[in-house]
Amino acid sequence: MAVTEAESRAMTRALALAANGPRGVNPQVGAVILSPDGDVLAEGWHRGSGTPHAEVAALSALAPGAARGATAVVTLEPCNHTGRTGPCALALIEAGVARVIYALDDPGEVSGGGADRLRAAGVSVESGEQAEAAHALIGDWLTAQRLGRPHITVKWAQSIDGRAAADDGTSQWITGPASRADVHRRRAAADAIAVGTGTVLADDPALTARDGDGLHAHQPVPVVIGSRATPADAAVRRHPHDPLFYDTRDLRAVVADLHSRGVQSLFVEGGPTLASAFVAAGLADRVLAYIAPVLLGGSRLALTDIGVSSIDGAVRLDVEEWLPLGPDLLAIAHPAPAASAHDEGAV
């Protein structure tokens, strides 16, 4: 049965509702309950871990029996497991819902399977409505579910000859204002931003996402990785969020812990040592290389040892986009499948 115009409008509304929910361990999900005539009966969205899921939030706004014969329009396949809350598929069945339309399948081994349960109970189910828009909303969460860690972007700025700084260590500013503004927009889109202790000690970064003279509404959680102590008066300690400190070189342990905290996307902006470590570990899902038309020469390379000893071992990249930013050029790329097939940590 084709999706009706009223059901499609309801999905657009459900996606808008989903965006009200917090990013974290659980996905952002919205739901709209329609009468058999296509009128909106109730709406709901997931408000965070431990709270009712979107479908149950919408159903709870209705009187008992009011959802019988109704259609539930949901941005994610109704779950099929009992966690802090019960299975939404069962709640819809018990409410008498006759039809369910959802955008994306639930990727969870435990939580998935809600559509099959609904069909087995005689409920009409349609999937894929506005899937692209739903993926744009929770794509990072889906990636985190698949990998068991956040989606990781590794960023650096370099001269056209591949240097991150002059030989005396100075690096401000290799790139121009347009590139720096682009970096801050991308910081604001991430859940967390990571640097090494060497960067903290050398540059004292605030790790905020700035918008002109102010701050973006959303700020990434600052993450500092390394064994050296961060000074008590460091700028990162004045960040709007409490910094997370990891006294370890085990990057997989770091990203696993961040995942457990609900971090879906990590923006790595440390110096060459940290960037190289993430690339070498196969933990770079995306690379952002800001290239400035300057020559520096010397030994301060943007990347150091990434475990490549010969050309056969090169980390090949697929370029998604070459983006001009004033006089600079941004390369947006991800590891090519053939180069990373041996490594589950790369996409």
Active site residues: 55
Cα four-point dihedral sign 268, 269, 274, 278:
positive
CA–CA separation, 263 and 272 (whole Å): 23
Residues sharing a CB contact under 8 Å with residue 296, sequence separation 6 or more, in sequence order:
159, 161, 163, 165, 166, 167, 174
Other C-beta atoms lying within 10 Å of the C-beta of residue 310: 6
Residue showing tokens 């260590």: 169
Nearest in space to 57 (alpha carbons), one of 80, 81, 36, 28:
28
Cβ 139 vs Cβ 28: under 8 Å = no
Q: What is the SS3 assignment for 301? A: strand
Nearest in space to 87 (alpha carbons), one of 78, 99, 77, 96:
78
Other C-beta atoms lying within 10 Å of the C-beta of residue 49: 13
CA–CA separation, 244 and 237 (whole Å): 10
For residue 341, CA distances in Å to 88, 113, 205, 335 come to: 37, 29, 36, 10
What pairs with residue 289 in β-bridges? 156, 331
